[in-house]
Structure 1
Amino acid sequence: MSAAAAHWARLQEGRGIPAAILAQAPADPWGFDPAAFRAPAVAQDTPSRAAALELLGAGGTVLDVGCGGGDAAFALAARATHVTGVDAQQDMLDLFAADAIARGIPHRTVLGAWPGSAAAAGPADVVVSHLVLHNVVDLPPFVSALTAAARRGVVVEMLCEHPMAWLDPLWERFHGLHRPPPATDADALAVLRECGIEPTVTSWERSARPPADPEWVARRLCLAAERVPEVAAALPGLPRPNRVATLTWTV
């Protein structure tokens, strides 16, 4: 493994939950609620959307890797002739398919983690992947498969640091667990360059999100329901990351 890829992997592995804490968790801390990932009815104009629309030109097919509810793909609905959603959660794909039907967009879904699902997904004109890189430990095969699947180009959107890094003070407060520094967009960019990819990088800031749900945070922290009031009291003042990087490269 190359130097940048090994560094990325170490940082990502450092975000894991120790087995002793995980064993005491009353609920799965890793699960995502599909309802929280429903694509908005009106797409936001973001640098990621603009980059993908430029690649699509007058029209083309879209492959959304780690699609969730389809936010990235459906933002391109005006020019997408067909969208394929890939996700490791069937309930996310169910949401993606239902929304595609409601919007009248030709679609297909593929269940599985990337890049293992790449062969089943097949190629597309434009490949998009939003807020997924920080779930990946071995980054080179992931980005290489994105490139291989794209006929025109790839658009990756990621937060400039791990999206759960803002909870690090709470891991220390409730578990005495000191987290190592999170991987950043600069770390991802170094890996891409080692893979021979020189992306266009656009840094921007997304709109502020609503306050985090204390019950959701408690589950993430592997805490029982009775600790939710303590979590709620600890949340004010913790800044959530909103800085975003859009990485775009052509094929």
Structure 2
Amino acid sequence: MSLRIVVCVKYVPDATGDRHFADDLTVDRDDVDGLLSELDEYAVEQALQIADEADDAEITVLTVGPEDAKDALRKALSMGADKAVHVEDDDLHGTDVIGTSLVLAKAIEKTGYDLVICGMASTDGTMGVLPALLAERLGVPQVTLLSEVSVEDGTVKGRRDGDAASEQLEASLPAVVSVTDQSGEARYPSFKGIMAAKKKPVESLDLGDLDLEADEVGLEGSWTAVDSAAARPARTAGTIVKDEGEGGKQLAEFLASQKFI
């Protein structure tokens, strides 16, 4: 029986762009270029490596987002994933991580799965809690923050590296795992992969397809909200110390005044 792997990916604003909040205090995704979250590329890579070792495996990449989020799916497909699912609905605007986990869980159950792989966090929200929420909603084990992962005989195994120790973990399938940016460099899509991705199926779903109501998601259904936001102050000019024999002393005094030493 084919090993069904679902990789959850996110289309995020480019971190090098001018990111800011919209009038409703949600992240403005219209005025900045977006891309596949870098941390999710590691999840796609690990899915590809697991599939390479399996006798038979199929990788589905799944995202929740606006029309442009298809770009993230195409990137994952060009890396080697087999097919994609895109959940898009205007009522999803402003959905927090609680609502997103609900939508993803419904889509994963509809798609079918044995293993769900996530990145350790998104590069915009950076909450890092979605894999755990997803496992809870699906009612399956979670093995998170892995720097090494493999699947064998119906069991997912991995290594979690901490500050003081490394843990060897395992769980029976079906399960949810998340991988860190130490799990292995993500491959670059080849020209052949990019061309092949254009022909791979991308299924579109909305809230109706997932039996969800608008008030369960979006700003109205969110458990969390941003109350206020202010732009970061512009950087001020630094202090220039001219070394005329007392430079080291002045530098030490400055560092001491800032409590760096």
Normalised TM-score (structure 2)? 0.33
Larger % of helix: which? 1
Larger % of strand: which? 2
Normalised TM-score (structure 1)? 0.34
